[in-house]
Structure 1
Amino acid sequence: MFQVYKDGRVKRLRKTETVPPCDDPQLVVRSKDTPVSTLTSARIFLPQTADPIAKIPQSNAVSVEYRKAPEYKLPIAYDDVWTAIKWVALHAKRDGPEPWLNERADFDRVFLARDSARANIAHNMIMKASGASLDDLIRVRFVGLLLLNPYFMNHGHDELVEFGHVCLPKP
């Protein structure tokens, strides 16, 4: 929920709550938070099964904690996620700062996945990666993009945008 002031400022009324990571080796999936840059962090999820027919995928997942609106103006969220993608790519030579990625990540099969407005960020990142220099994404091969309920703004009629204008007071 947000409070919109007449002068155009927007204030978040409740801080987003997050569940703490859990690095318990007895769990099916372990997780930990790690810094990506001075302003961005990521949570890494690591499945813990050695059973080849297990029902959970044998893949690492990295979720980026990027700076969000309204506190930060776009395109800062896109910049933070791009920084995180390049940080993950640092591990492709197996000498990056995060051991879980060095030891377990498969950089020949990288997928991006997100939902809602974050799907828009994932889409933009895959487009940017397709034109990136080899130095930016050395030895990383993107093979898929999964968009769940994506939200893309367009230049035409958009009922969701109109609904937002009806619900939010004009500055």
Structure 2
Amino acid sequence: MSSTIDEIDLEFFPFIRLYKSGRIERLTVLPTLPPSPSDPITGVASKDVVIDPAAPVSARLYLPQLPSPPSSKVPLLVYFHGGAFCIESAFSPTYHPYLNSLCGRAGVLIVSVEYRLAPEHPLPAAYDDSWAALRWAVGGSDPWIAAHADLNRVFLAGDSAGANIAHRMAVRAGAEGGVRVEGTAAIHPYFSTGEEEKGTLGDKLWRLVCPGAIGGTGDPRLNPAAESEGALKGMAGRRAVVFLAEKDFLREKGKAYFEVLRGSGWEGLVELVETEGEGHVFHLSKPESYRAGELMEKLVSFLNGASH
């Protein structure tokens, strides 16, 4: 008979196994890619910065190829990677090529945030790290940002759990001030109605990310409809776009987020963009596909759109 110390409590296969003893086993170690002083295809320069060594919080910055001397400053995009709050990295082979390409196509300066992951660092660690990175970015202390970023055109974006974070940052910016946001892009956002039955993957994953949390319909981290009165109405930004995919298992939750935001009294303009025949974050798994290119162009158009 096995002892309790060896019993599995929760598992997010093939990535993480959590034992009842509290021991955490990461089953898959994701590789990372280094930054580049000049990408041979896009001309984009990238570098890594440490924002808070104590937490720690870091980021990878992407600077598009600019004319010399630069004719004007470019928008600043703060990007939050996905991965269910517990996997992936700003430095991974998934995100580095994607953001390098987005930077080159959109001509924006990108800050890709490396936040702490659950279950070693349960929520709100990812939110706190992301907020620290956002405040650092708009503070303009980095030479690239100071020289090239238009801090009147700051965008937030992310996919899956990163879209959840982008939303939370926009709400916090509206509540606390100090960050002027132009728009937010939520790509295949990870939200929930909080109604998953106990024992389902959704329930297990949330308990992995936020141990001890009850969740349910009243948790605004899961369900944007549960935000405190006026929080959505006061959300920072003038524009928002929600990207959905027809075959995404989170599609209905993302659509519900769009409807909640549209009916919240928020004075910004919110748009819904859906891709037919594709699943969750298909643009990352199939970046060379035609539909991934379409999504990229729509995101580029959003980032380069005129202010209202």
Normalized against structure 1, the TM-score is what?
0.79
Please give the root-mean-square deviation of Cα atoms over the aligned residues, in Å: 2.6
The one-letter code of the counterpart of 1:130 is G
The equivalent of 2:65 in structure 1 is 48
Corresponding residue number in structure 2 for 1:118: 162
> Given the superposition, is the C-alpha separation of residues 166 and 141 from structure 1 closer, same or farther in structure 2, using an over 3 Å criterion?
closer
**TM-score, length-scaled by structure 2:** 0.46
> Deviation of residue 14 (structure 1)?
2.5
Asked whether the 8 Å contact 2:17–2:24 carries over to 1, the reply is: yes
Q: 1: CA distance between counterparts of 2:63 and 2:169?
A: 23
Identity %: 41
For residues 131 and 87 of structure 1, the distance between their equivalents in structure 2, rounded to whole angstroms, comes to 18
Partner of 1:84: 133
Deviation at 1:105, TM superposition (A): 0.6
Query: Paired residue for 1:75?
Result: 124
1:143 paired with 2:182, answer yes
CA displacement 1:63-82 (0-9 Å, x = unmatched)? 01010012211111110000
Equivalent residue, structure 1, for 2:151: 107
Q: Is the 8 A contact 1:114 1:146 kept in 2?
A: yes
**Bigger relative contact order, structure 1 or 2, given CA contacts below 8 A and separation 6+?**
1
For residue 165 of structure 1, report the CA deviation from its aligned partner.
6.0
> Alignment length, in residue pairs?
154
| Partner amino acid, structure 2, of 1:132 | E
Distance 1:102 1:166, change over 3 A: closer
Confirm or deny: 8 A CA contact 1:31 1:46 kept in the other structure. yes
User: Any idea what the Cα deviations from partners look like across 1:73-115, whole Å, max 9, x if unmatched?
Assistant: 1111110000001101211xxxx1x110000111111110000
Deviation at 1:154, TM superposition (A): 2.7
Deviations 1:8-64 (A, max 9, x none): 543212333221000127652110001111111010001104399xx7222101001
* 2:197 and 2:203 in contact (8 A); partners too: no
Alignment partner of 2:200 out of 139, 162, 166: 162
**CA–CA separation in structure 2 for the residues paired with 1:166 and 1:16:** 22
Return 71-80 or 149-158, whichever deviates more: 149-158
Closer, same or farther: CA 24–165 of 1 in aligned 2, 3 Å: same
**1:7 Cα deviation from its structure 2 partner:** 3.1
